[in-house]
Chains A and B, each alone.
Chain A
C-alpha cells in the first residue's frame, strides 16, 4: 500500500499529522515528511488522514492489498 501527498495542493492544515502520526510528520511549521509505503496495521490511520485532508491532497493506493483486489483508491 502506497501513498503520495500532492504538495501543490497541500496547504499545511496538518490534519494528516494529527490523525496518522506514524505516517505523517511535520517538521517545523510547514515541512511535511511522510512514509510512502505503509503496512496494513496503519491502514485505518491513513484512511482517516486522507479523508480529513481539507484539500484532498493525500492520494492513497491500496492496490497491493489482496482482500480488496486491484481496485485503486484515491483518498
Chain B
C-alpha cells in the first residue's frame, strides 16, 4: 500500500466511480441492493431502533413497587430533575452526576488526545518502513482485543494499598505510609479509562496521518518551515478529521460508562450509567428509561455538535 499515491488516486477514483454509477446499475436488478442491505437493516430495527422507542415509551409509564403500567405521566422526568431548578445555584443529584462525568470526560479526552496524537505521529512519520509501521501498530492494538474487566482488575496488584507502586515508593523512602488514593479513586478511574480507550484516538489519527501526501511536508520544509511549524500549520489541520472521530468515540464512551467508574471507583463514584443500572436492579424501569433518554439526548447533542465539524464517511 503506497499511502501518498493512493490518497491522490482515491479522490480521482471517487469522481470517476460516481460517473460510472449509472452504467453499473443497468446490469444489476434494482432490488438487489435492498436485499443485500435488508439483514443489517433488520438487525438494527429490532435491536436498536425499536429498543430505543420502547425506552422512550416506557419512560412515560407508571410504576409501583410490584409492577410497571402503561400510562402517560411525566413524573419520571420530574423525578430525574427533582430539585434541579429549586436548588439553584446548588446542584441536584442529576446535575452533580453529570458534572462528575463531565470531569472524567475532560480529563480522559485531554490525556488520550495528547498520548494518541504523539503515538500516531511517531508511527506515521518517524517509523520508516510499512512492515515496521504495521508491526508497531499491531503491538498497540492487541490489548484492545482483551476484556475490559481484565484490563481494569490488572491495576489492583499495582495500585492497591500493598501494591507494587506503594511498595516501591515505601522502600525508596518517598512516602512513609501507603498512598490511599491510588486505587478506588478518581485517579484510578481516569487512569483506567485512558488505559482502555487511548487506542480509539490512535487509530483514526494514524489513519488520517497516513493519508497525508508526504510531498506536502517536504514542501513545507523546503519553504523553510521548522518541524514545529510544519506540525501546527500542515499536519494538525490535515488530521483534524481523525482527531474529531477519535474525540467522538472517547467522549461518548466515557459519558455512558458505568463499569470502569464502578470497578475502579470501588462502587463509590456516581455516574449516570450506574444510576440507571441501580434503578433497573430495583425493577424501576420507567425512571431508568427516563434517565436513559436524558443520557441519550446529552450524548446525541454532543455528537451533533462534533459532527457538524466533519463528514465521517469521506474519511474512511
The answer to whether A and B belong to the same complex is no
Residues of B within 8 A of A (CB): none
Residues of A within 8 A of B (CB): none
